[in-house]
Structure 1
Amino acid sequence: MTEHTKENSTRADLRDRIISTATEAFTTHGIKCITMDDIAASLGISKRTLYEVFQDKESLLMECILKDQRELGVFLEEVLASSKNVLEVILVCYQRSIERFHNTNKRFFEDLKKYPKVYEMMRNYRDKDSESTINFFKTGVSQGIFRDDVNFAIVNLLVHEQLDMLMNTDICKEHSFLEVYESIMFTYIRGISTEKGAKVLEDFIKEYRKHRIYREEKH
């Protein structure tokens, strides 16, 4: 290995470590209260070294989000390869998102809007993703899981609006974030499911709640 290759490898490793450390800090405490100084100190590097890799906090946050999206893409491919129908895919992805929400400070979502480039990128990603989501639901119709009389474009838009509302209102002062999120998602899936799909969903909810109670008792 040449010196140049070693240097590139070391720099790539440092970049990955910075992204991992920043992601952990942002999701645990929120974005606004974490400074570049904090991240440099956590890694035991100078602020100058950090700024040589990422020019500012927003560009670092952008890379954290992009890494998360790539990991979600890999996860989704693995789930698609092993699931019998589209509802199983949705529910496995739902369970993953719930586990992530458990470990994410609500401030993280509130703070995202203060970084316009990142927020715009996420909105564009979501808009682009909507078309493939709608086609995905149409596959569920052909599998007898979802109803064939649903306009999935409208329903998909309404769910996104509800999730935005969840991030932008004080509803979570009265109810837990998890409770509200579950109410949105389970009501949504029940509404578009056939009898066959509803059975898959109810079996999932029964098992999911059993495990959730067990986790809560352990904590």
Structure 2
Amino acid sequence: MTFLETILGEVLQLFKREGIEANSEADIIRKLDIRQSTYHELFLNKPDMVLQVIKFDIKQQNDKQQELLKMANNPVEEIMMLLVDGIKSMKEINPVFISDLQLYPEAWQVSLDNLANNNQQVNAEILNRGVLEGYFRRDVNLQLVTKIILEQFFMMINPMVFPPDKYDLAEVFRSIYLYYVRGICTEHGGKMAEEFFAKNTL
């Protein structure tokens, strides 16, 4: 891992723990224990830092996602593993982080683009295989279902719909996706889903 990657990793953890706006650039420099000149060699300003941190986070998430999927035995487990990982990730993030991120349009757009492109493509591939292998219902409209999954995520992270001070985002995530996935499963797939949930604590 390069020096920049180490710094990005530390800032990412700080953001996820405290939010982005909780610390000024001076606070971040102090907490990173680096010189101001070093900071400005790495980042043009705070928006640039946030953008680099988000790109770093996306790469880590996508790499982790691919490794996670290799452990699944079938498409139902793949969807469920992504669900469980998503819930765990939401529990580790201060809800303020998501609302703060929307204050940085370029970084927020990069995050949305990754959801719309990578995540939607991954879900579509899993669902397609699941239909062919008999785990998901054949009458499922793949394009529509992947779109619904994406839009449900946008709804979930919208603070106007689910204010973080009133709703546990991890529980919202679970409630939205757990029951939706069950609904698109065949009887065979549903049994696989039930077995998975019996072995995994959400």
The answer for the alignment partner of 2:148 in structure 1 is 158
**Could you tell me the TM-score, scaled by structure 1's length?**
0.82
Q: Does 1:182 align with 2:178?
A: no
**Distance in 2 between residues matched to 1:134 and 1:94, nearest whole Å:** 15
Matched residue type, 1:74: D
Aligned residues: 199
% same residue: 27
Q: RCO greater where, 1 or 2, for CA within 8 Å and sep 6 or more?
A: 2
Pair 1:143 & 2:130 matched: no
Distance 1:143 1:103 in 2: 34
Match of 2:185 in 1: 193
Structure 1 stretch displaced more, 123-132 or 169-178: 169-178
Are the counterparts in 1 of residues 83 and 178 from structure 2 also a CA contact under 8 Å? Answer: no
The structure with the larger Rg is 1
Matches of 1:100 and 1:176 in 2, distance apart? 13
8 Å contact from structure 1 (residues 26, 108) kept in 2: yes
Could you say what the CA RMSD is over the residues aligned between the two structures, in angstroms? 2.0
Q: After alignment, is 61-70 or 50-59 more displaced?
A: 61-70
Structure with the larger helix share: 1
- Structure 2 counterpart of 1:90, from 32, 56, 79: 79
Of residues 84-93 and 192-201 in structure 1, the stretch that sits farther from structure 2 once superposed is 84-93
CA deviations over 1:159-207 (Å, ceiling 9, x no partner): 2222222222245544422221111011110111111111121122223
> Would you say the 8 A contact 2:135–2:188 is kept in 1?
yes
Is contact 1:172-1:180 (8 Å) kept?
Answer: no
Matching of residue 204 in structure 1 with residue 193 in structure 2: no
C-alpha contact 2:87 2:170 (8 A) present in aligned 1: yes
Structure 1 segments unaligned to the other structure (5+ residues): 1-8, 213-219
Q: Does 1:133 align with 2:123?
A: yes
Q: How far apart are residue 96 of structure 1 and its match?
A: 1.8
Q: Distance in 1 between matches of 2:69 and 2:152?
A: 26
Report if the CA contact (8 A) 2:78-2:126 is conserved.
no
Q: Structure 1 counterpart of 2:185, which letter?
A: S
> In structure 1, what is the Cα distance between the partners aligned to 2:143 and 2:62?
22
Q: TM-score, normalised by structure 2?
A: 0.88
